[in-house]
Chains A and B, each alone.
Chain A
Amino acid sequence: MNQLLYSKLSSLFKVESSLTTSIGQIQLDRPVMLASGILGISLDVFNRLYRSGVGAVVTKSLSTEPWEGYPNPTIFSVKGGGWINAVGLSNPGAPNFAKMIEPNQEVPIVISLVGSIPEDFEMMIKQFENCKITAYELNLSCPHVAKVGLEVGDDPELVRKIVTIAKNTTDVPIIAKVGLGTTHYLNTVSTAIDSGIDAITAINTIRAMAIDVETQRPILSNKFGGLSGTPIKPIALRCVYEISSKHDIPIIGCGGVSAWEDAVEFFLAGASAIQIGSAVGDNWIDVFNEINNGILQYMKRKNYSSIKDMVGLAKKS
């Protein structure tokens, strides 16, 4: 349609803009989610984050048993932007965590799970039978812990079994979080879709490291960690675009979102929601409402009534 005509018509029929979004069956009031691994440890903090504008909280990745994670240093701020972390998936374990969040009714919680074998995921999902859960996110992409995360995501047979067992264990939607491993992430996405996955989160941090030149040693205690933040945004955006070009699957964009423009880029590339992690370290939790407001202003300006009006628009040309 003629742009001028369109804008004139739009101003005649001004729509009410809303931040609500759907990721398949998952309904959220706001499209900005807290990424896994960030702050996701106590219900009090979840409530605070919800008041601060997150549409859903994704928990730290939970394992069958409590994990202490790696010794410090576990995080490194990269000159030029971004963070490298190797926290090592420290978490209280799914059973303890389920008990903690049982009272929750208000906050939409996405439970992130990490495990080595399909039965781990079955056992963990069963822990949450008495909890109000928005979705599960399978961590198939953490790049710095052995035998889980990316090492699992790189094994198509394991991915197929894990997604299948998760789908058979619960009716709650299951999301797979993919990353850049040795198996092409588009193949992992295909495997997950063929096994019945409900949505994809793309991407996780990218395996990286930092060396101190004075003391001449790797800084992180684990040597390797995952790079997050603004440097990985263009890569994450490319992945979302590629997935949405190839598959008809709801996508959550994750990687380097620090401003509303970044979020909108992900929507235009095909994401229905986005996750934020590193920007919390830079801008603290005000970042959620700042981005929500920026998205809303953009929607009003473009006369969009909901997020889905702009999902994938960049693919039209």
Chain B
Amino acid sequence: MQRNHNHTTIVTIEKVIDETPTVRTLVFSDNVMSNVLPGQFAMVWIPGINELPMSVMISKEPGKAAFTVRKHGPASTGLFNVKEGQQIGIRGPYGNSFDLKEGKLLLVGGGTGLVPMIRLLSFVKPADDVTVLIGAKSKDEVFFEDLANNMLENNPHKVIVSTDDGSYGEKGFVTDLVEKLVNESHFDGVYACGPEIMMYKTMQSAHSRNMFVQASLERMMKCGVGICGSCCVGEDLVCRDGTVFDGDHLSSNKEFGHFYRNKAGILEKY
């Protein structure tokens, strides 16, 4: 019988991979999650601690999936600290997914925003010319660079890392690279996931040049199913209408890139 995506399923963490001092990937077996589309997310329950939305990461092994988490607040730190053999609850997948174009593609990932970008990479066609931009604060926090290169070994491709402090790769913000690249040549599809300002600037750079651009938004989520309203951005609910939105749509949203809602639902400036 097909599982109801709203019902919590308990899975056991089989492997924990340290990606950086603050980022870990937790691998588990689950057929449903191993097949999710890029951009879709799961609500992940860490028993006794919290529940949070997580983009689903690929795993090389069939039937397996993973979450790549950066320790930040209580919930993500709780997930970061989960050990091999421990159980977590998952429900979903929720949300829509990226509309992957063919041809010259630009993928922009900041921090754990790389997760849906990596998932997207597993769907590119061999003829696609793919540029991946990885943004990180410093050398310590760069991850998935080798993975991206390996996944694209049969494609014309570039994987470019930029660090805010210049300790690795190009120095500066990844959005400056985006602006430079879209100014030099046309991309058939531009995809972004990461800090909101990064996505906002990427959207502006691409959309102003009439390029197809999509971003996967992040907001505080409680229910994940469109009931609680916590994740609204303007009139859109990230959990139900997104998480992926087109540049056309985002460019008319008054809150995207400027405001988010706190736990009480009050608008705050980024």
Q: Which residues of A contact B (CB under 8 A)?
A: 37-42, 44-45, 47-48, 60, 66-69, 71-77, 79, 83, 85, 87, 90-93, 96, 212, 214-215, 217, 219, 221, 277-278, 280-281, 284-285
Is the Cβ of A87 less than 8 Å from the Cβ of B240? no
Q: A92-B265, A92-B266 are in contact. List 11 more A-B contacts (CB 8 A).
A: A39-B237, A40-B229, A47-B235, A60-B265, A72-B50, A74-B51, A74-B223, A77-B8, A77-B225, A93-B264, A281-B227
Chain A residues positioned under 8 Å from B62 (CB to CB): none
- Knowing A66-B266, A212-B8 are in contact, say whether A217-B47 is a contact too (CB < 8 A): yes
A117 to B254, CA, bound (A): 38
Q: Which residues of B contact A (CB under 8 A)?
A: 4, 6-8, 10, 43, 45, 47-48, 50-52, 74-75, 87, 89, 91, 222-230, 232, 234-235, 237, 240, 254, 261-266
Is the Cβ of A212 less than 8 Å from the Cβ of B10? yes
Can you give 21 A-B contacts (C-beta < 8 A)? Answer: A37-B227, A41-B261, A44-B254, A48-B235, A60-B229, A66-B266, A68-B262, A71-B74, A72-B50, A72-B51, A72-B222, A73-B43, A73-B51, A75-B227, A75-B228, A85-B228, A87-B223, A93-B264, A96-B266, A214-B10, A219-B45
Chain A residues positioned under 8 Å from B43 (CB to CB): 73
A230 to B88, CA, bound (A): 28
Chain B residues positioned under 8 Å from A90 (CB to CB): 222, 228, 230, 263-265
Is the Cβ of A72 less than 8 Å from the Cβ of B52? yes
Smallest distance from the beta carbon of A270 to chain B beta carbons, Å? 27
Smallest distance from the beta carbon of A69 to chain B beta carbons, Å? 6
Chain B residues positioned under 8 Å from A39 (CB to CB): 226-229, 232, 237
The residue in chain B whose Cβ has the minimal distance to the Cβ of A38 is B227
Majority-rule SS of B interface residues: loop
Is the Cβ of B47 less than 8 Å from the Cβ of A212? yes
Is the Cβ of B47 less than 8 Å from the Cβ of A74? no
Is the Cβ of A79 less than 8 Å from the Cβ of B7? yes
A93 to B225, CA, bound (A): 24
- Knowing A45-B237, A74-B223 are in contact, say whether A38-B8 is a contact too (CB < 8 A): no
Is the Cβ of B87 less than 8 Å from the Cβ of A69? no
A87 to B223, CA, bound (A): 9
- Knowing A74-B222, A212-B8, A219-B45 are in contact, say whether A41-B227 is a contact too (CB < 8 A): no
Smallest distance from the beta carbon of B250 to chain A beta carbons, Å? 14
The residue in chain A whose Cβ has the minimal distance to the Cβ of B9 is A214
Chain A residues positioned under 8 Å from B234 (CB to CB): 42, 44
Chain A residues positioned under 8 Å from B7 (CB to CB): 77, 79
Smallest distance from the beta carbon of B53 to chain A beta carbons, Å? 9
- Knowing A39-B232, A39-B237 are in contact, say whether A281-B223 is a contact too (CB < 8 A): yes
Is the Cβ of A41 less than 8 Å from the Cβ of B232? yes
Chain A residues positioned under 8 Å from B228 (CB to CB): 37-39, 74-75, 85, 87, 90
